[in-house]
Structure 1
Amino acid sequence: MNNSTATTYRRVYRYSKPYLGRIFLALAASLLVAGTDVSLAKLVQPLMDKIIVAQNKALVYVVPVVVIGLAFLKGASRYVQEYFIKTAGQLSVQDIRNDLYEHTMSLSMGYFSRDSTGNLMSRILNDVGILQRSAADVLVDGVRESFTLVGLTALAFYNDWKLASIAFLVLPLAVVPGSFIGRKIKLNTRRGQNTIGNLTRLLQETLSGIKVIKAFGTEQREMENFRQENLRFYHFMRKVLKYDSAAAPVVEILSSFGVAAVFWYGIHRVLSGAMTQGELFSFIAAIFMMYTPIKRLTRVSNNIQRAVGAAERVFEVLDVVPEICDSPQAMDMGRVSGGITFDGVGFAYDKEPVIREFSLKIAPGEVVALVGPSGGGKSTLVGMLSRFYDPQQGTIYIDGLDIRQVSLASLKHNIALVDQETFLFNDSIRNNIRYGRPEATDAEVKEAARQAYADDFIRELPGDYENTIGDRGARLSGGQRQRICIARAILRDAPILLLDEATSALDTESEAMVQKALGNLMKNRTTIVVAHRLSTIMHADKIVVLENGKIQEIGRHTDLLKGEGLYRKLYEMQFK
């Protein structure tokens, strides 16, 4: 066993520790299940020698009672064993899934930009699902069959150690092919799960972008992509099934050599008078019953390899260290007045810098617009202020506090974001508006909607504020979705407001309505506006013109138009 696999076992065991009580109870029941199997094998000898050979009719009536009694004991014990071991496995895997989801929520935006959502969903759902199924099979069959094998092995050696040695002579030969098969199953399970991640990504992308697919008539292309990826998954799973199917026949063929030797040697001993017929049949019954758990344990071993392959993918995510987290001395910044300072800030996503030596002071209550060509770093600055990313050079201060030295919770509490991606949850309008402040009253929700110019259209909907708006708010228009997002930000009541292209995807009529809503939202708040439409930021207190991550100009709209700089060129391009 390599170090990686051993570490995976230890980590899975740590999740099982809280449920050791259930596991020990199941182990006790497993001993009873194994004991009944051993007892049945042992009873073959008196059945043959004392009843059939000796013709003892008085004992004939005892046989049904013993058989039924053992069956009741085995059935009750098996129920206790399976119930408690399976629930222990389910609870352990449930804890793994919860930890995986919670850890995913703690990861920075940088991680999500590098890894696909579909792959992450596959690890949370499919890989943990394999763990969940394997936990039940491995724990139930593995524990029960192990005890049964130990008991029957002990009985075989107790009855006749010479015959038992012959029977077990071939078992070491099964280790080599068993180990090879296990490694192949683990490898192909991992590859198959990677492919399932790609399938989940394709599914997520196609369902999210179904409007684009329908508009361009590319259904056949997407179906072919899915079909090809699904075929790749089948190829890996076919290899898993091939090796899994080969395991039992290999053990059975090897076992047949031991059984043949036992029959040959045992019959010779009976004929020579060295052992009775009952002893031989009891031994053979134990051997035949023993090979059944061996074959089942081979299947359990294959399931373990599947589970290890899936667990390694799960723990890969759990081992990702969040890039953005609270420092050990992080303080609660309370409610801020909204003064913001960028001091020599620099940032690069890869090697190419996006922001270079950016320095800017924003007074509390000031409205600052960031404009410039695409790729100039405007949205990145907003992301760094929200601590989606940390600057690689320089420092960002709010009210004189380095935002890396304050708690993330208190920082987020002081910031409200209205993004160009108007994301709404498949929930009621009321719950979407108070998403950032769950304790808000219904009256506060309606007041926020009124200020966002959303109350009128909400009341026209069936069920008004209780209306469920569909996946990503699909039942609403773009302007309606944006106004609900603005209502959400108004209800948040944060002193700092970030507007990242909040009106870029709207028509003129919707934009006018949203601009009114934004006017209400921006009152008495420090506001940073990222905009391409210069008509929306003409009244900003300060306009910062960015190009290639550097400040080219700063000033008010009228002052910048008097110059010959980049802002005037952008203005003339838009309004011509």
Structure 2
Amino acid sequence: MSEAGRSSRRSRARTAWRILRGEDQRGRKLRWLLSLLRPYRKQVWLTVLALVIATAAALAPPYLAGRAIDDGIIEGNSSALVVIVVVYLASVLVLWGASYVQTYLVGWIGQRALQNLRERIYTHLQSMSIGFFTRRKPGVLISRLTNDVQALDSLVTDGIVTLFSSTLTLVGVVAILLALDVPLALVTFVTFPILAVGSVAFRIASAGAYRRTRERIADITAYLQETLSGVRVVRSFGREDRHLKEMTRLNRRNRDVNMKTVQLNAAYFPAVELLSAIGTAAILLYGGQQVLQGDIEIGILVAFVGYLQAFFDPIQQISQLYTTYQQGMAALDKIFDLLDTEPDTTDAADARDPGVLRGEIALEGVWFSYA
């Protein structure tokens, strides 16, 4: 077989695998979700700028603390110490201001984008045929406009920002650690492959768990809507016990699927903390020996310990973001299914708008007679 033929087969295989995993549809849905932010481009760019400034300011304190020890305290240089402390305080103020702007703009953009989404869903529901509402439970439709949109709110306002800021922080920390001391940085990175394998395993295990949580809460919402709206019938026929048993069953199913996610989180996130502690111990052991031998300054070791937490925090935040991502994408799948549903009947291509009807009847050219 020619190289072109083998390449074509590999391409088709990759495409089929992406379709099986739903990645093609996920990409399309994510692009559609991001399109909700298009009317707010200016505010988005201001948010990105504030985010970059906040990240840079957050990375300054550990390095400045190390310099204060080496250049100020150990050298006995009080003027250098004062300058470093002033720069430290300035970085904290910049971090506060940039974080305020970022948080406000993210909320401002997210609330308006999701308001537009709710209006779009409701407009689509208004266009559906009567038969659609006989086939769909009202509680499920209410869940789309409430629970699922709320899950998207977390993805848009928290998830995207966390992904961007955590990635910037991680890249910045890696660059700073390599600039300070390469051997010490490599000791820090030893735990990264273990963490990467654990993150992949967590992703695979939790892939379907969060979709099931959205399905179970939708079932409860639908059942509550139906039973509460028909409570007079339930009470008239004395069916309270029967409905209580059904609600208990649905509630237990919801508890069980949520406990699955709890078990996954309980296994993964403490493991990240354990790896962070192991990394800190390795840095103190190896870096302490380097300080005692005079190979590095103690301020660099202090900075490394400070940056070590900043190294593991973004990884943990990105992992937690996957939880938000799974919940948000499960909600987005359900919203997309709703928006992709076409009405049973549509207007003809040449249909005319009757305009505003005033409720008047005009009889023109009408006659009758008695036989």
- TM category (shorter chain) comes to 0.7 to 0.9
Query: Of residues 203, 207, 210 in structure 2, which corresponds to 1:182?
Result: 203
**Separation in structure 2 between the aligned mates of residue 87 and residue 245 of structure 1, nearest angstrom:** 33
Query: Of residues 242, 260, 271 in structure 2, which corresponds to 1:250?
Result: 271
Structure 1 regions of 5+ residues with no counterpart?
Answer: 333-408, 414-435, 441-491, 496-522, 525-576
| Contact 1:247–1:299, Cα closer than 8 Å, also in 2 | no
Task: Identify which of structures 1 and 2 has the higher relative contact order when contacts are C-alpha pairs closer than 8 Å and 6+ apart.
Answer: 2
Deviation sequence 1:437-471 (CA, Å, 0-9, x none) = 6xx6xxxxxxxxxxxxxxxxxxxxxxxxxxxxxxx
Report the Cα offset of residue 139 of structure 1. 3.1
Is residue 2:312 matched to residue 1:291? yes
**Separation in structure 2 between the aligned mates of residue 294 and residue 189 of structure 1, nearest angstrom:** 20
Deviation sequence 1:210-235 (CA, Å, 0-9, x none) = 22112112223222222221221121
**TM-score normalized with structure 2 length:** 0.84
- SS of the equivalent of 1:169 reads helix
**Separation in structure 1 between the aligned mates of residue 231 and residue 313 of structure 2, nearest angstrom:** 52
| Contact 1:89–1:139, Cα closer than 8 Å, also in 2 | no
Instruction: Please tell me the root mean square deviation across aligned C-alpha atoms, in Å.
Output: 2.5
Is residue 2:343 matched to residue 1:322? yes
- SS of the equivalent of 1:323 reads coil
Deviation sequence 1:55-109 (CA, Å, 0-9, x none) = 1123343354333322211111000011112222222222222222211222222
Report the Cα offset of residue 47 of structure 1. 0.9
Equivalent in the alignment of 2:66: 45
When you count strand as a share of all residues, which structure comes out higher?
A: 1
Deviation sequence 1:251-270 (CA, Å, 0-9, x none) = 22233443333333322322
* Residues 118 and 6 of structure 1, relative CA distance in 2, 3 Å threshold: same
* Residues 197 and 326 of structure 1, relative CA distance in 2, 3 Å threshold: same
| Contact 2:211–2:326, Cα closer than 8 Å, also in 1 | no
| Contact 1:90–1:135, Cα closer than 8 Å, also in 2 | no
**Separation in structure 2 between the aligned mates of residue 162 and residue 183 of structure 1, nearest angstrom:** 34
Q: How does 1:99-118 map to 2 (within 5 A)?
A: 99-118=120-139
Computing the radius of gyration over CA atoms, which structure comes out larger, 1 or 2?
Answer: 1
Equivalent in the alignment of 2:34: 13
**Separation in structure 2 between the aligned mates of residue 116 and residue 204 of structure 1, nearest angstrom:** 9
Report the Cα offset of residue 186 of structure 1. 4.3
- SS of the equivalent of 1:22 reads helix
**Separation in structure 2 between the aligned mates of residue 24 and residue 85 of structure 1, nearest angstrom:** 11
Equivalent in the alignment of 2:8: none
| Contact 1:86–1:140, Cα closer than 8 Å, also in 2 | no
**Separation in structure 2 between the aligned mates of residue 100 and residue 313 of structure 1, nearest angstrom:** 12
* Residues 326 and 172 of structure 1, relative CA distance in 2, 3 Å threshold: farther
* Residues 494 and 255 of structure 1, relative CA distance in 2, 3 Å threshold: farther
Is residue 2:300 matched to residue 1:259? no
Q: How does 1:7-406 map to 2 (within 5 A)?
A: 7-327=28-348, 329-332=349-352
- SS of the equivalent of 2:208 reads helix
**Separation in structure 2 between the aligned mates of residue 65 and residue 89 of structure 1, nearest angstrom:** 36
**Separation in structure 1 between the aligned mates of residue 154 and residue 216 of structure 2, nearest angstrom:** 19
| Contact 1:41–1:286, Cα closer than 8 Å, also in 2 | yes
Residue correspondences, number:
343
**Separation in structure 2 between the aligned mates of residue 60 and residue 254 of structure 1, nearest angstrom:** 34
Letter in 2 for 1:138: G
- SS of the equivalent of 1:167 reads helix
* Residues 172 and 110 of structure 1, relative CA distance in 2, 3 Å threshold: farther
| Contact 2:71–2:81, Cα closer than 8 Å, also in 1 | no
Report the Cα offset of residue 52 of structure 1. 1.5
- SS of the equivalent of 2:345 reads coil
Q: Which moved more, 1:44-53 or 1:168-177?
A: 168-177
Deviation sequence 1:543-572 (CA, Å, 0-9, x none) = xxxxxxxxxxxxxxxxxxxxxxxxxxxxxx
| Contact 1:86–1:139, Cα closer than 8 Å, also in 2 | no
State, as a whole percentage, how many aligned pairs show the same letter.
Answer: 27
Deviation sequence 1:367-393 (CA, Å, 0-9, x none) = xxxxxxxxxxxxxxxxxxxxxxxxxxx
Report the Cα offset of residue 112 of structure 1. 2.1
Report the Cα offset of residue 126 of structure 1. 0.9
Structure 2 regions of 5+ residues with no counterpart?
Answer: 1-20, 365-371
- SS of the equivalent of 1:170 reads helix
Report the Cα offset of residue 311 of structure 1. 0.9
